[in-house]
Structure 1
Amino acid sequence: MKGQVMARGLGGFVLVFAVLAALALWREDLGLPIFYLVLASTALFWIAQATSWNVLSGYSGYFSFGQGAFVGVGAYTTAVLGGRHGVDFYLTVPVAAVFSALLALLVGGLAFRLRSFRGEIFALLTLAVPFILAALARVNSEIDGGQGVVVPVAEYPEWLAQFQDFLYLLNLIVAVAAVAAAFAIQHTRFGWALASIRDAEDVAEGLGVATFRYKMQAIAVTGLIGGAAGSLFALQIGFVTVESVFGLTIPLFVIVMSVLGGRTHWVGPVLGAVVIVLIQDRLSASGFEGWNLIVLGAILAVLVVVAPDGLQARLWRRPWQAALALVVVTGVLAVVDSWGGPLDWFVSGVLAAVAVVLWPGRAPTPVERRPPTAAAADPVETEADAVVPGPVPAQAEPGEVLVECREVAKSFGGVRALDGVSLRIRAGELVGLVGPNGSGKTTLVNLLSGALRPTSGSIEVAGRDIVGLAPHRIAHVGVSRTHQIPKPFESMTVRDNVAMAIMFGRSPRPLGPAREEAEACLDVVHLRHLADARPAEINLHERQLLEMARAIATKPKVLLLDEALAGLNPAEIDAAVAVVRRIHATGITIVIVEHLLRVVNQLATRVVVLNQGALLADGDPRTVMNDPDVIRAYLGRHAHARGT
């Protein structure tokens, strides 16, 4: 099914390219004025640039102001090689694309290796890049030297009537290739990985997504497309200057276009670019060219308030209403013929369609909350519930040491969160990890999952040293976890949240089989009736259960439940306890961090107590819970004095 969608989609791009290319090949026969091809060339350039930006900043959520850097490198590569060294234009285009991709990889290698380079910090870094390149171009006479560079007109086939026909075809090739690449990315594991990074990067990494690799691939694609389109831009403007390529105009425009169209879908940048280019052109034709930036700023401000999800998502909800508005307004103006020309009428129709799409309406109907089956509604464990549907992950021999921590310590500045903790967890155990607040429980969970690295000591899982491994590699070793505060992928359904873990887990599966297998995991936690819901539509208890379903979908050897019952009422706690028992019955070793001692007593085969970063007690629940030192540390001296 997925292959058919991809084949049909790419076939559609070939058809679109053939139809649009025909406009240049038979323009004179069709009686099409050259002006329309010039306008189309401009739109195609911006479609390529907005799509380029969106692959990184839309799909993965890493907001960039550095698009001008990729355009500038592409433009100057063609200008310098062609204008000063006589290199054939057709050779400069791939060189420009490669140079821009290398710059992108350099920026990505710096930013993505440092986890602190996210959000506004990443945006500021990318903003600095074009300014640095602009300064280098100005001071280096081999590049620009402040004089600008003339780009010679490239030779083009004789069967094309004019140079503008040739330029249109070149922009068409790059734009269609860019949009086709964005389409392909969105419909592959690549796109799912980027979507998970946008929604919750740390969670994605812990589920097995190699986030650094996918981000590097995304920024390389962004640079490649940006550089190729920048090379054509140099040919289009004929004279490359620092101000024309390294300024803020290009990043501002691509951001507005992508936000207007919608950043999470490949169609979004296309819609945004077409609308903005048409508005710009009509403003210029009407003598309001100086209002361009004012109009762009106003559009961006309105979108943030009215339609933060962009035109694409809303157009998909009202396609026929938008099409009707476009046809009616354009048709009426053409029939009346009392104002403007065909392009004015069409742009008016487009604006009417945009207004219809953005007009406030009823919110999308939420997924019907069908009551779960009788088995799902009953928290009491049954024999059938004790088995997780689908294949059960291979486990170590019962009793074999699965996790071993030796003298593990972790310091945060002068604070020692863990101090020489040594611990063994055997296959098949359900270990309760307890202790007062600040005792180091969550720190130990973070060390076991790879979210943190120990200051000293060693940690082995299934005989493999995991210290220094990236979290996604630790997930593939067999460690999975939940979080104190649920972190679902908000843009995905409940089913796809779980399918993501299967697609990138220890036994990766394609999307179709992963969705089928996800149903079995949702059955375990009794959420199958909400498979089509979005995380925003389910309550806290259901989100906690979703965390568990997603965690077991990776087929872990060790499952870390970090306060998975926090904030639940007594009935929900009992239901969650039954779910944990069912998961444990499959042979998965569980470490549960929990403050509710009655839950620990109900579930744990063994209890480990931490206090002030050190191991205080370790043994069977009854013995540990009656240990005077544990009572004193956990419940306080007064409770101990009363014999509690």
Structure 2
Amino acid sequence: MSDPALRRSALFVLVGTVAAAVLVPAVGSNFAVSFAFQFMIWTALALSWNLFSGNSGYASFGHGVFFGVGTYVAAAVLRTTDLPFGVAMLLAGLVAAVLAILVGLAVFSSPRFSGDLFGLITLVIAFIVMTVVSNLDFLDGGTGVFVREHTADRWIGSSTTNLFLVATVLVGAVALMAVATSNTRWGAALRSIRDDEAVAESLGVPTYRTKVLTFGVSAGLAGLAGAPQAVFLGYVEVGTVFALSIPLFVIMMAILGGIRRWWGPLIGAAVVVVLRESLLSLGAAEVSQIIVGLSLVIVIAVMPQGISGFVPRKRSSAVVKGEGR
């Protein structure tokens, strides 16, 4: 894409971020703000997953573990220190990023750990981290930890609106990074790895360094999202924070919206969150899982490039028909 396209996309993100931050608290009820907060968290996770996995082709099934690590690190900092929430959030992202970089340095050093094997490794890491957290008393100790009582007198814990504002700014930042990967050499390097890593390496693309650093950035963003989630939950436990459904829903959102365009995961998150919450409000928790899953299957069959890939294709086909006349 050209630089004007990059500027337009960045402007769209900035305007959308400001509009959401102003309008939702102004016109929304407490339920609407809570719903919007959860939507922002899911959007941040879907966009951050797509930043690495969607662009590189290395599908990670452990994205939820970095989100969980961020949640527990923030919870530990807020419970045991008087540090401000901003510091706790930065530490949450940093620890998640360091963990991902260490994993990446080991896994990406060998071409054997690619494809389905990479996904399996990330899933195994999630179970390892869950076990470690469950056995460390200062993190969880197997009993869960209370966070709300340690944040009630702080700005971040005084209102769900404040949590929403933090999540909105985070989504804006992640979206700008997603725009960057679609318009810069960084993104081109990632996509060349997805298309043919051997060829990319022969052409001088630093594939190893690109994968490690982008995996770390992707995980760090997920860790940042975990910090406000810790405050929102109030009570943090391993079974909830590290639930397998989290990475599965994230992957579903990205695929549903389309991984080839930076805004695809945003569309997928909107569809999945609205559909899921609508069904849950009707008291159909199990049915909601089935319907969301079937929706993904239908989209893959009808729109293999996701919703974002279907719209331009329809537009281009209409142009072709018009030229035919």
TM-score by length of 2: 0.92
Aligned to 2:144: 148
Conserved in 2, the CA contact under 8 Å of 1:97 and 1:223?
A: yes
- For 1:3 and 1:301, the matched residues in 2 are separated by 36
Is residue 184 from structure 1 mapped to residue 180 from structure 2 by the alignment? Answer: yes
- For 1:291 and 1:41, the matched residues in 2 are separated by 24
Conserved in 1, the CA contact under 8 Å of 2:44 and 2:171?
A: yes
Conserved in 2, the CA contact under 8 Å of 1:139 and 1:146?
A: yes
Conserved in 2, the CA contact under 8 Å of 1:112 and 1:215?
A: yes
- For 2:210 and 2:268, the matched residues in 1 are separated by 26
Superposed displacement of residue 34, structure 1 = 2.3
- For 2:217 and 2:308, the matched residues in 1 are separated by 22
Aligned to 1:305: 301
Conserved in 1, the CA contact under 8 Å of 2:276 and 2:289?
A: no
Superposed displacement of residue 364, structure 1 = 9.7
- What pairs up with 1:260-339 in 2 under 5 angstroms? 260-318=256-314
- What pairs up with 1:197-208 in 2 under 5 angstroms? 197-208=193-204
Letter in 2 for 1:256: M
- For 2:166 and 2:103, the matched residues in 1 are separated by 28
Which one has the bigger helix percentage?
2
- For 2:301 and 2:74, the matched residues in 1 are separated by 41
Larger Rg: 1
- For 1:363 and 1:149, the matched residues in 2 are separated by 56
Letter in 2 for 1:196: S
Superposed displacement of residue 24, structure 1 = 4.7
- What pairs up with 1:106-145 in 2 under 5 angstroms? 106-145=102-141
Is residue 251 from structure 1 mapped to residue 250 from structure 2 by the alignment? Answer: no
Aligned to 1:6: 6
1:58 counterpart SS class? helix
- For 1:9 and 1:304, the matched residues in 2 are separated by 26
Aligned to 1:82: 78
1:166 counterpart SS class? helix
- For 1:178 and 1:362, the matched residues in 2 are separated by 32
Q: Deviations over 1:586-608 (max 9, x none)?
A: xxxxxxxxxxxxxxxxxxxxxxx
Conserved in 1, the CA contact under 8 Å of 2:303 and 2:309?
A: no
- What pairs up with 1:543-554 in 2 under 5 angstroms? none
Out of 223, 233, 237, which is 1:237 matched to?
Answer: 233
Conserved in 2, the CA contact under 8 Å of 1:139 and 1:145?
A: yes
Structure 2: gaps of 5 or more residues: 321-325
TM-score by length of 1: 0.47
Aligned to 2:323: none
Which one has the bigger strand percentage?
1
Aligned residues between the structures: 319
Conserved in 1, the CA contact under 8 Å of 2:256 and 2:300?
A: no
Could you say which structure has the greater relative contact order, defined with CA pairs below 8 angstroms and 6 or more residues apart?
2
Aligned Cα root-mean-square deviation (Å): 2.3
- For 1:39 and 1:121, the matched residues in 2 are separated by 36
Conserved in 1, the CA contact under 8 Å of 2:78 and 2:151?
A: no
Conserved in 1, the CA contact under 8 Å of 2:299 and 2:307?
A: no
1:113 counterpart SS class? coil
Superposed displacement of residue 362, structure 1 = 7.0
Out of 14, 22, 45, which is 1:49 matched to?
Answer: 45
Name the CA shift for 1:311/1:364 in 2 (closer, same or farther; >3 Å): farther
- For 1:11 and 1:186, the matched residues in 2 are separated by 15
Q: Deviations over 1:344-380 (max 9, x none)?
A: xxxxxxxxxxxxxxxxx97996xxxxxxxxxxxxxxx
State percent identity of aligned pairs: 36
Superposed displacement of residue 146, structure 1 = 0.5
Is residue 22 from structure 1 mapped to residue 22 from structure 2 by the alignment? Answer: yes
Superposed displacement of residue 41, structure 1 = 0.9
- For 1:306 and 1:317, the matched residues in 2 are separated by 12
Letter in 1 for 2:303: A
Is residue 100 from structure 1 mapped to residue 103 from structure 2 by the alignment? Answer: no
Letter in 2 for 1:213: R
Conserved in 2, the CA contact under 8 Å of 1:105 and 1:220?
A: yes
- For 2:8 and 2:251, the matched residues in 1 are separated by 29
Bigger mean CA offset, 223-232 vs 296-305: 296-305
2:61 counterpart SS class? coil
- What pairs up with 1:557-568 in 2 under 5 angstroms? none
Superposed displacement of residue 308, structure 1 = 1.9
Name the CA shift for 1:284/1:188 in 2 (closer, same or farther; >3 Å): same
- For 1:301 and 1:275, the matched residues in 2 are separated by 14
- For 2:275 and 2:232, the matched residues in 1 are separated by 21
Conserved in 2, the CA contact under 8 Å of 1:24 and 1:168?
A: no
1:130 counterpart SS class? helix
- What pairs up with 1:338-487 in 2 under 5 angstroms? none
- For 2:82 and 2:127, the matched residues in 1 are separated by 28
Conserved in 2, the CA contact under 8 Å of 1:130 and 1:247?
A: no
Conserved in 2, the CA contact under 8 Å of 1:51 and 1:270?
A: yes
